[in-house]
Amino acid sequence: MEQIVSLCKRRGFVFPGSEIYGGMANSWDYGPYGIELKNNIAKSWWKTFVQERDDVVGLDSAIITNPKVWVASGHVANFNDPLVDCKGCKTRHRGDKLLEEKIGVDETAAIPFEEVGKKLNELKIVCPNCGKTDWTDARKFNLLFETQVGVLADTKNIAYLRGETAQGIFINFKNISNTMRKKLPFGVAQVGKAFRNEITPGNFIFRTREFEQMEIEYFIRPPKTENEWREPFEAWMEDIKRFFSDKLGLSDENMRWRRHDENERSFYSKDTFDVEYLFPSLGWGELHGFAYRTDYDLNQHIKHSGADLTYVDDEGNKFVPHCIEPSFGLTRTLLAVLAEAYNEEEVGENDTRIVMKFKPALAPIKVAVFPLLKNKPVLVEKAQEIYKNLKPLFMCEFDDNGNVGKRYRRQDEIGTPFCVTVDFDTIEKDNSVTVRDRDSMEQVRVKVEELEGYLAQKLQ
Ligand code: GAP
């Protein structure tokens, strides 16, 4: 993980937040290549799950909502983590996470909230900060970020930054079903920021207080048999697996699906999985949450708002739809994509290169264009001309710093699939350029007039 964090800073993917003011713990800014990568992941997700499907539409709902939304959703009462204090050094920790490291997720899930501190002491779990074992009882710590709306800092004006993008979808269910004339089953997708006042953020961008999610709420008819929800549930599992492997390039050996047992699962959920990724240094960590949430959320909003969120089918039957939820963390997915792409390779005697083997569609820069020599205007002019022609079609970079070898290394580190070099043969012989492939490092000559088609085909 250290190498990834260092590359991210050095090459402009992710910078420590508020750095010039001494930083802000666990806050991160996405640099020029980071934002390209993040946007490309979100674009690929949107294309897969919205553009290419007939049964999913998009939404962009507000981050600050009426606070009643979060009362109805259960977040105000139940979105709590067990906070324990170490009596030795006074640092605060998430008791459940400390237990999970020792006894695993399933056993931890069976321990009641009020027993967490006692169990930590019983199992002699040491404080990660000072190494002592002296824990307080756990207290409930609500993860919602409170803010005040308006000019007066008054309890009446309290609002919350959204703790998940999902609730924006539920509260717009009626607007969407009325305006889009969608027949069940249909889904609503949303990408955007979510905020949680995490007790123990960390591991780079894995757990932060401000992060991005890509969520879908897929509405189905109330099932009469288990098969009626299992079928779409399992179809979604296949679609999610395909997205992670085919679109993001995450390998099967780094992914696993962990089913929640009854203790861990929310009372309203009939089945829940965490899709986990094997993150370097950190081990298996949740990348994606997948659940059948029944009709819980819509019913909660019906109860609290008084609004009619029922659906009427063509036969006039009126009912509250049920919901399957694939919930992706965008920033956490970005970390998995970085980890999967990171390679250190031997290239000749005592020589190595770092290369980010992103899927071409995800790479921040698709094509880099170089003149062989910086001080030969004829080469620079031709390279500039090619660069300007390609730029409207692909994210491109022009580079004439240092020698070509150094430029290749830099482009390898940001994962650019193709480098195009203009040399004397281009000018004097056959109007062809060298195209170098990032992964194989092989070089081929391509005619300038065929370059656009060649790259478009390779970058598909
Ligand atoms: N609507 C369901 C929901 O929000 P979740 O499991 O709490 O479920 C879904 O979150 C995904 O959001 C997680 O799998 C993870 O990828 C991402 N996520 C959650 N908390 C996060 C945090 N503090 N930092 C970064 N990503 C987070």
Give CA separation, 79 vs 74, 143, 247, in Å: 7, 6, 33
CB distance 164 to 123 below 8 Å:
no
Angle, CA 427 vertex, CA 407 and CA 375 arms, to 5°? 50
48 CB near ligand 1 (under 6 Å): no
Give CA separation, 344 vs 33, 200, 251, 430, in Å: 19, 31, 17, 36
Cis bond before residue 185 (omega within 30° of 0):
yes
Q: What is the pLDDT along the chain (460 residues), one digit of tens a residue?
A: 999 999 999 999 999 999 999 999 899 999 999 999 999 999 999 999 999 999 999 999 999 999 999 999 999 998 888 999 999 988 889 999 899 989 988 888 888 888 999 999 999 999 999 999 999 999 888 999 999 888 766 667 889 999 999 999 999 999 999 999 899 999 999 999 999 999 888 899 999 999 999 999 999 999 999 999 999 999 999 999 999 999 999 999 999 999 998 888 888 999 999 999 999 999 999 999 999 999 999 999 999 999 999 999 999 999 999 999 999 999 999 999 999 999 999 988 888 999 999 999 999 999 999 999 999 999 999 999 999 999 999 999 999 998 999 999 999 999 999 999 999 999 999 999 999 999 999 999 999 999 999 999 999 8
Q: What is the CA 391 to chain-centroid distance, rounded?
A: 27
Could you tell me how many residues make up the chain? 460
Q: Which residues contact 22 (CB under 8 A, 6 or more apart)?
A: none
403's tokens: 């020698």
Residue 454 backbone phi and psi in degrees, to 5: -60, -50
CA distance 86 to 91: 6
> Which among 408, 414, 409, 413 has a CA at the least distance from the CA of 436?
408
Q: What is the CA 25 to chain-centroid distance, rounded?
A: 20
What pTM value is reported for the model? 0.94
327 CB near ligand 1 (under 6 Å): yes
Q: How many CB atoms lie within 10 A of CB 252?
A: 9
Residue nearest to atom 18 of ligand 1 (CA): 329
198 CB near ligand 1 (under 6 Å): yes
219's tokens: 């509405």
381's tokens: 């002019």
Helix or strand or coil: residue 345? strand
Residue nearest to atom 2 of ligand 1 (CA): 327
264 CB near ligand 1 (under 6 Å): no
207 CB near ligand 1 (under 6 Å): yes
Helix or strand or coil: residue 168? helix
Q: How many CB atoms lie within 10 A of CB 183?
A: 11
293 CB near ligand 1 (under 6 Å): no
CA distance 201 to 143: 12
- Best mutation site among 327, 331, 338 for ligand 1, i.e. most ligand atoms within 8 A of its Cβ? 327
Q: Which residues contact 456 (CB under 8 A, 6 or more apart)?
A: 393
Ligand 1 centroid – CA 213 distance (Å): 7
